[in-house]
Chains A and B, each alone.
Chain A
């Protein structure tokens, strides 16, 4: 089955700096890659996603890039703000499979 690895497990940046979180996946048939943000005491919430026919997608301060050859994808957050502090999960889905396979999460802390 699919295996998703995520790095780093923790990341601390100063407010205004950029943050990058990286994930690799194992199944070359995976075609959908969402990113979820989980705030303390809440369930994860989708923040951006990308499909395998696209190399990059942006939404304001966040962007995701996908390298299908290398089987890795990354989340980029620019001009970080304290409210960006949360745990971020990458995930992958293979074809029309029912489940998303998640990475182990990255705890991002944005310091003032």
Chain B
């Protein structure tokens, strides 16, 4: 059953290392979003995928961040050369249609030491 699944749920890494966060959206949902939630902050948009269209990458904070979505399903968010300010909860959401309800996963908590 099938909600949005994210892994790992927790990741602790050292500054300068690369990390990969995975998102498995709800089956059949064409839209997929990544948001970042920092302590005391709202949800910061990172990137959006819709079907076969070019992704909206306008929220990615630097070129150390990238994401891909394979086969219109699973998505991976990659952060290269992690910095302490990258510490946050990374939330993935999927939606049946572009302007529909977002269904969020429980997030991946990233801690960069």
Query: Is B101 located at the chain interface by the 8 A CB criterion?
Result: yes
B50 contact set on A, CB distance < 8 A: 98
Within A37-77, which residues are at the interface with B (CB < 8 Å)?
Answer: 41-46, 49
Q: Which among B11-19, B40-48, B70-78 touches the partner chain?
A: B40-48
SS class of chain A's interface: helix, strand, loop or mixed? strand
Tally A residues with Cβ within 8 Å of B. 24
Which B residues are within 8 Å of any A CB, using their own CB? 4, 31, 33, 35, 40-45, 48, 50, 56, 58-59, 91, 93, 98-99, 101-102, 104-107
A-B pairs with beta carbons under 8 Å apart, 12 shown: A36-B102, A36-B104, A42-B106, A43-B93, A43-B106, A44-B102, A49-B101, A91-B43, A93-B99, A96-B99, A100-B45, A104-B40
